[in-house]
Amino acid sequence: MKIKSMKTLKLLVALSIALGLASCSKNSGTKGGSRATGWKINDKNGGFQYNTKYKKQETPPGMVPVEGGTFTMGKVEDDPMHDWNNTPSQQHVQSFFMDETEVTNLMYTEYLFWLKTVFPPAEENYKNIYSGALPDTLVWRNRLGYNETMTNNYLRHPAYAEYPVVGVNWIQAVEFSKWRTDRVNENILEQNGYLKKDAKIKDVSAESTFSTETYLAAPTKAFGGNEDIVLKKEMNGGRKQVADTAKNVYAQRSSGLILPEYRLPTEAEWEYAAIALVGNREYNLYKGQKKYPWSGQYTRSGKRQYRGDQLANFKQGKGDYGGVAGWSDDGADITNKVKSYPPNDFGLYDMAGNVAEWVADVYRPTVDDEANDFNYYRGNVYMKNKIGEDGTTEVVTTDEITYDTLSNGKIIARNLPGQIAQVPVDDNETYLRTQFSTSDNRNYRDGDRASTRYFDFGVSEDEESEGDDKYRMYESPKHEIQVDSAGTMIKKYDKTNMMEGKRTTLVDDNVRVYKGGSWRDRAYWLDPASRRYFPQDMATDYIGFRCAMSKVGPKSNKKTPRGNPKF
């Protein structure tokens, strides 16, 4: 009887504990209720709607995850160039996604096809949209070389479809990234029933396009305000349309569906991803610095099957772009098909060789790690959505397209119909802030008025002309394009001080960093820490690009961080 009594007692204790836990669970709001108010979240009758079943950010099309961490940025093994722009500094980079390969000709021509279809270049209002996005195929020409085959075929011929696109300047690479963001999110929303099926093909036009930011800020203005395309959904997840009085019937940030923007990687991200020290790690330490994206001090493979093959596509010596015919080498004379060489430890291809790559940063000789050592990036120009006279977000129309004439005369569209008009942030956003005080931060601590040796703290900006060459931090050339009354473009090449040899630099706010060696470069430039710069509005036959995307949520998708016990 004692045994039975003990069992009964244990059963009653267990039951009471279970009931207590159930009561606590119910009171804490873990079963669909808010821990703040106890109200039910996602109630079909209305109220607060939120994606409580969100698990993790899906890997975007064409990308691989790169887990962030700490590394020494700017450390090169050799410095034969004596550039003095590779001062080592310890930096931390957050986790992000990066294109598995460089953007290929096939990927870029898909972009060109979309532009040509939606904004027909035969129409006067759109003629510069398509032409402004076209790569400069004349980059292949040389005064003393015959390269017309590449000039005529490299961009569009199927033989080069999976080769990295070249002839694209930095601005064009940025615009491609914006376009890619919208097309990917447009497809995601269609698949989840928020956009009419196949509208992205059948219903798209210059007056009716999808923009991610427009959809988030003013969904009724997406696709030109066509409610037959921009669909509503029931708040409990159904696909039916609901009454106009219902709330949260469009996808939002809180829906967890819309991906962050595709963009160019920062220099810190690119270098961190290229060197891939994760493959040279033991517990919480890196076992030395890597010279190349792969392990070892040599550019040739030591594996038996591929022994002697080059691990990247680069110039091996004067007049040697691909070695001797029939001999084990890099297998290319110009660029090569992506994925032709082994990936690094993050799974990224061609982080050394093939083409060098644009990154987001404005070039400066030094990386100011004293100002910041977390997600370092020089180039922030903060903008905000423009609000119209009616108090709502202003969307660009077909008559409000903004075009920029670059220093080389090329005309590029800086916004497209359907996108939100942007203006610089003002005192409403900067007043009494400690972390930024202006819209344009490219010159912070290096190149602003206060950095010049002529700056007088007792003189106002009105008294001291900032545009005067005397007060410029950098004396780079200022080439200008003017249009006369007849519409003729007049190109003014800046020769100031060049004849006297007084020009001291080519650096200004319009030169961008590019990283990695190319098919035209010697092995030194394969070092991920090496860095160079080039004008953002010019293109070459050896610079391409790849996109990155920030990761939202945890640093790693591991359920429990290594070494941390579960409590």
Say yes or no: 482 and 551 in one domain. Answer: no
The pLDDT assigned to 243 comes to 43
| Structure-token pair, residue 207 | 């007056």
SS3 annotation, 39-98: CECCCCCCCCCCCCCCCCCCCCCCEEEECCEEEEECCCCCCCCCCCCCCCEEEEECCEEE
pLDDT for 238 equals 41
Residue 128's pLDDT is: 94
Contacts of 521 (CB under 8 A, 6+ apart): 314, 315, 353, 356, 542
Is residue 288 one of the residues assigned to a domain? yes
Q: How far apart are the first and last CA of the chain?
A: 39
pLDDT of residue 236: 47
- Same domain for 490 and 348: no
pLDDT per residue of the chain (567 residues) written in tens, 0 to 9: 455 566 665 666 566 655 555 544 444 444 558 889 999 988 877 788 888 888 899 999 999 999 999 999 998 877 777 878 888 999 999 999 999 999 999 999 999 999 999 999 999 999 999 999 999 999 999 999 999 999 999 999 999 999 999 999 999 999 999 999 999 999 999 999 999 999 999 999 999 999 999 999 999 999 999 989 998 875 544 444 444 444 568 999 989 999 999 999 999 999 999 999 987 777 777 777 788 998 888 888 877 667 778 889 999 999 999 888 887 788 899 999 999 999 999 999 999 999 999 999 999 999 999 999 999 999 999 999 999 888 899 999 999 999 999 888 889 999 999 999 999 999 999 999 999 999 999 989 886 666 666 666 555 544 444 455 555 667 777 777 777 666 677 877 777 765 555 667 788 889 999 999 999 999 999 999 999 999 999 999 999 999 999 999 999 877 655 554 443
One domain for residues 487 and 352? no
Residues 152 and 293 in one domain: yes
Model pLDDT, residue 465: 47
Q: 165 and 280 share a domain?
A: yes
Q: Is residue 488 part of a domain?
A: yes
Kindly state whether residues 276 and 321 are assigned to the same domain.
yes
- Residue 31, pLDDT score: 58
Residue 307 counted as domain residue? yes
Give the Cα separation of 351 and 422 in Å (integer): 34
Quick: pLDDT tens for 15-55.
Answer: 665 555 554 444 444 455 888 999 998 887 778 888 888 88
Distance of CA 136 to the CA centre of its chain: 22
- Does pTM surpass 0.95? no
Tell whether 450 is covered by a domain: no
Task: List beta partners, residue 10.
Answer: none
The answer on 552 and 479 residing in a single domain is: no
pLDDT at 305: 66
- Give the pLDDT of residue 340: 95
Residue-range definition of the domain harbouring residue 484: 475-508
All residues at 6 or more sequence positions from 157 whose CB lies less than 8 Å from its CB, including other chains: none
Give the chain's largest Cα–Cα span. Answer: 111
In a domain, 386, yes or no: no
Whether residues 274 and 163 share a domain: the answer is yes
Q: What is the C-alpha to C-alpha distance for residues 548 and 359, in angstroms, rounded to an integer? A: 10
Q: How far is CA 515 from the centre of its chain?
A: 15
CATH number at residue 346: 3.90.1580.10
- Do 286 and 304 belong to one domain? yes
Instruction: Say if 226 falls within a structural domain.
Output: no
Encode 125-178 in three state secondary structure.
Answer: HHHHHHHHHCCCHHHHCECCECCHHHHHHCCCCHHHCCCECCCCCHHHHHHHHH
In a domain, 497, yes or no: yes
Give the count of domains, the chain. 2
Q: Which tokens sit at 432?
A: 């009494």
Q: Where are the alpha helices (DSSP H) in 164-320?
A: 170-191, 199-202, 212-217, 267-275
